[in-house]
Amino acid sequence: MTNAGQTAAISVLALLGCAAASARRGSTTSAGGGSAGGAPPAAPVEVARAPLGALTVSKWRLANGLEVVLLPDPRATSVSYMTWFRVGSRNEDAKAGETGLAHLFEHLMFTQTKSSEANAFDSKMDAVGGSNNAMTYYDFTAYVDDIPPTEMRLATTLEADRMVNLDLRKKQVETERDVVAEERLASVEDSVDGILDELMYGQAFKTHPYRWPVIGSMKDIKAMTQERAVAFYRKYYAPNNAVLVIAGRLDEAATLAVVAEAYGAIPPSKSLPLDGAKPERAPGSEVRTVISRPVPADRLVIGFPAPALGAPDRAAYEVLNELLAGGPSSRLNRALVVERQWASSVHGDIAPTRDPGLYAIWVQMTKGHSAEEAERLVVETAADLAAHPVAAAELGKAAARMEAQFWQQLGSSHGRAETLGAFEIAAGDFRALLARGGEYARVSASDVQKAAADYLGTGARSVVIARPGAETKPAGPVARQKP
């Protein structure tokens, strides 16, 4: 649900799923699709087709604007069926106190529709051996169904139904609102990493919606109403604001026919709001905050400017991260953890965002050493990469590790659907993914140098430090969090 630290850029998506799924259980009744009656829907139109290794990915569009990305694999034993809506926390009206609405729907979509009883979605999925979850990020909300290949019709029926027929009753909105408030307590207020991450983004961005948290502020969560939820649903949940990504053991023609039958008669939205957010390179200067928390030693996160997921220099930047903080052999791990023993852990993650985002380097210090010592070493190491070409052997190993991670992510139907969806939404085209694997090997020493100089060598960074002590409220630059 929120963006926590991980080494690989795309693997951050694995952390976005909401824990609410385990609490959703209920009875079963029928759920109708959106295409009952009337003339048969027009056939989907092919938009794109491209190879992914030995497999082929195709993209289709229905007359109502719904897009469908298919990746058949005859060797697969299951199907991953994901519905990606082009709405995330970036689309919320923070000035009106409505942060957190996108994430709230991660919960509300599992309550009930006008044609089903409460929690019927989970019950029906459980009955056929399927599993489901959801994830919310700055740029999207995605709903995940991993199902047996025989249950494609069930998935399309249930998903089409809740796309248009969600029954947003006042009691359900209030119940899920309280669940989200508890989730925020656990993942932010009571989590050192959660509060550091939120403060890092809040002080880094001045104008872009990435400055407010995906989960929303506690004040806004508690103020959510049924009326606001209904308005948000009607505004963004529509076929022409969604992409289905389906990967696994499936027949292309049969799947398209089932999708067209279930979704074809759902009308498109004629009033989708324009996304007016202007990309912002952040932070624009050095900003920092220090807080106290019950931690054994200093905990530090440094946020540097980072390119968007689809940016031309993204592959070089990911290799740069691998060199700096990508694992046991990375320069910072060797310097901070192995040689000096100033820290017990260090890792970096690059946000998979549609617009320029942040590259976060996380360091857990050992007792007796300060966060400032690590920060100086991070800056010096980055400056060295900007000033001197990395040796061919070190670069080759880093690029090979990135390529291996890339293909490992695509080793399952779930991983393929997740990564294709992320690139379709955040990079603008799933085909950007298909080229990414080969880009790592083409990253040169000068590419790494340029990325280090352009993004890490300007002095601009968002630093948040948690020191041992009684809990204190943040002050100073944190005020920039407010929209």
Decide: residue 446, CB within 10 A, 0-12 exposed, 13-18 middle, 19+ buried: exposed
Beta bridge partners of 326: none
Q: Which residues, 6+ apart, have CB-to-CB distance to 378 below 8 Å?
A: 302, 324, 332, 361, 363
Of 252, 160, 244, give the one whose Cα is nearest residue 417: 244
Query: What structural domains does the chain harbor?
Result: 10-263 (3.30.830.10), 286-481 (3.30.830.10)
Structure tokens at 142: 């995605």
The single-letter DSSP state of residue 91 is: G
Q: What is the pLDDT of residue 327?
A: 87
What is the maximum alpha-carbon separation in the chain? 73
Q: Are 231 and 87 in contact (CB under 8 A)?
A: no
Q: What is the pLDDT of residue 481?
A: 35
Residue type at 38? G
Averaged pLDDT in 10-residue chunks for the chain of 483 residues: 37 47 32 46 91 96 98 98 98 97 97 93 97 97 98 98 96 96 96 97 98 98 97 97 98 98 96 94 98 97 98 98 95 98 97 98 98 98 97 97 96 97 97 94 98 97 96 56 33
